Amino acid sequence: MQLDDAPPHNDAGQAEGIIHAVRGAVVDVVFKDADLPAINSSLIVKWDIPTPLILEVHSHLDLHTLRAVAFQSTAGLARGVAVYATGSAVTVPVGEAVLGRLLDVVGEPKDNGPQLPKDTPHRPIHGLPPPLKSQTRTTEIFETGIKVIDLLTPMAQGGKAAMFGGAGVGKTVLVMELIRAMVEKYEGISVFAGIGERSREGHELLTEMQSSGVLERTVLVYGQMNEPPGARWRAPLTALTISEYFRDQKHQNVLLLMDNVFRFVQAGAEVSSLLGRLPSRVGYQPTLASEVAGLQERIASVAGAAVTAIQAVYVPADDFTDPAVTTISSHMDCVIVLSRSQAAEGFYPAIDPLASSSMLLDPLVVGEEHYATAEAVRQALARFRELTDIISLLGIEELGVADRKIVKRARRLQRFLSQPFMVTQAFTGTPGTSVALADTLSGCRAILNGDADDWDESSLYMVGTLEDARAKEAKATTPVTDDAAPEVSS
């Protein structure tokens, strides 16, 4: 947001108020001789600290007093300081100038780079979704190269997908792998919103994008964990505003990534509490559903330009019945659930194949062959899960012949659907792989048909295609010849 060009009160006719009370990130402002600024409009504090301070109006307390939320730290703010009403919502820079830059919630560059040009267009962060009649839906499948996603939870170009998982199950790693996959195959602009993220994670993503050469087509917007709740609450709106400009004005496809949408809800709960609203279920804000809907409904595609959204969602205490989780999931086309039990067994990506779902897994969309293969895989894994308790109590020998065959193939399917990622190659030492959908389908059908029944299970673990697993099996079963045997000194 441009602050230096804000004209004085007398010249521009801006309403002037004074600070009445400061309670952390919540500030009360009195306008004695002017009408109160509108809800969601922005105020600029004229104080003697170089750091700008921007407030957003959230409620009118009486005819002359309003309550606002600060986007920056209010440390040092005192009563009686002058405040000017801008008359509009917070505006952020958009367009070609912001590509390759890291911005904060009000559009200020935070990457130690040059200031944005003076002629950079600005847009308000509050807006309406495009009219329903102008929105378009697509059934074009986007291949990610990740086997379990392409097979069981196919993603649509122009759709909304979310990764749900507790702490430490691999949400951010999965999002970063999808970024890498999309950059290779996806023509368009990428906008990343880091909501309540750690500074370390933001720095890692910035340096990785710089080294991979994709930063020049990407915009990074951060409302970090150490910032006031107002900044974390409005960071996704800033990213959305930039995305909408490229969609509507430039007619370009946009990939919108958000990590983590739960922090958006959490920041809204903090703001709601600071504003004095009564809490709702589980302590969340009473406006939870409308806030999430206001964000998600703006993520839409129009004719000629698609916005594809991939969102990571933290699940508090692994409770998938949490109101925030259920509210967010209701807006998604594709729901990918990450399981702690899968991660504990070493199956990465730790995606639960039975809890995850996609609206696109339909024979009319993906085809009969894909649908039939996915259903067969689900049925085998579901039957294996049903038999797990019996196996742990009595042993696999107590099962019938048919069930033993299902268990054998389901265990091999579990291992085949694991996959090494390219973004983790530096940490694991295992080269990452990207697998085409056709190879995933053929591999799963071969395992279901019993082609790998005699293989060692470890041969299918953390490989790409079935051919890679076959080569791994052949290498493991090749006997060591006498010529190749190491010499033993006497």
Collect all residues with Cβ–Cβ distance below 8 Å to 53 and sequence separation of at least 6: 44, 45, 47, 70, 71, 72, 74, 77
Contact 334, 160 (CB under 8 A): yes
Residue with tokens 């005819």: 63
Contact 420, 431 (CB under 8 A): yes
Measured from the Cβ of residue 135, the count of other Cβ atoms closer than 10 Å reads 14
- Distance (Å, whole) CA 131 – CA 169: 38
Burial class of residue 89 in the structure, from the number of CB atoms within 10 Å of its CB (0-12 exposed, 13-18 middle, 19+ buried):
buried
Burial class of residue 158 in the structure, from the number of CB atoms within 10 Å of its CB (0-12 exposed, 13-18 middle, 19+ buried):
buried
- Distance (Å, whole) CA 365 – CA 301: 19
Q: Name the strand (E) or helix (H) holding 388.
A: helix 368-394
- Distance (Å, whole) CA 284 – CA 301: 30
Tokens of residue 355, six digits: 């809890």
Rounded to a whole number of angstroms, the distance between the first and last alpha carbons of the chain is 79
Task: State the greatest distance between any 2 C-alpha atoms of the chain, in Å, as a whole number.
Answer: 102
Nearest 5 degrees, angle CA 56-CA 96-CA 90? 5
Residue with tokens 């004209």: 7
Cis peptide leading into 349, omega within 30 of 0? yes
Collect all residues with Cβ–Cβ distance below 8 Å to 113 and sequence separation of at least 6: 101
Distances (CA, A) of 487 to 135, 476, 477, 481: 72, 21, 21, 12
Enumerate the β-bridge partners of residue 28: 21, 67
Tokens of residue 36, six digits: 């109160």
- Distance (Å, whole) CA 360 – CA 373: 14
Nearest 5 degrees, angle CA 465-CA 471-CA 475? 150
* Strand bridging mode 16-23 / 26-30: antiparallel
Contact 350, 170 (CB under 8 A): yes
Nearest 5 degrees, angle CA 323-CA 283-CA 164? 30
Enumerate the β-bridge partners of residue 371: none
- Distance (Å, whole) CA 36 – CA 23: 20
Active site positions, annotated = 171, 197-198
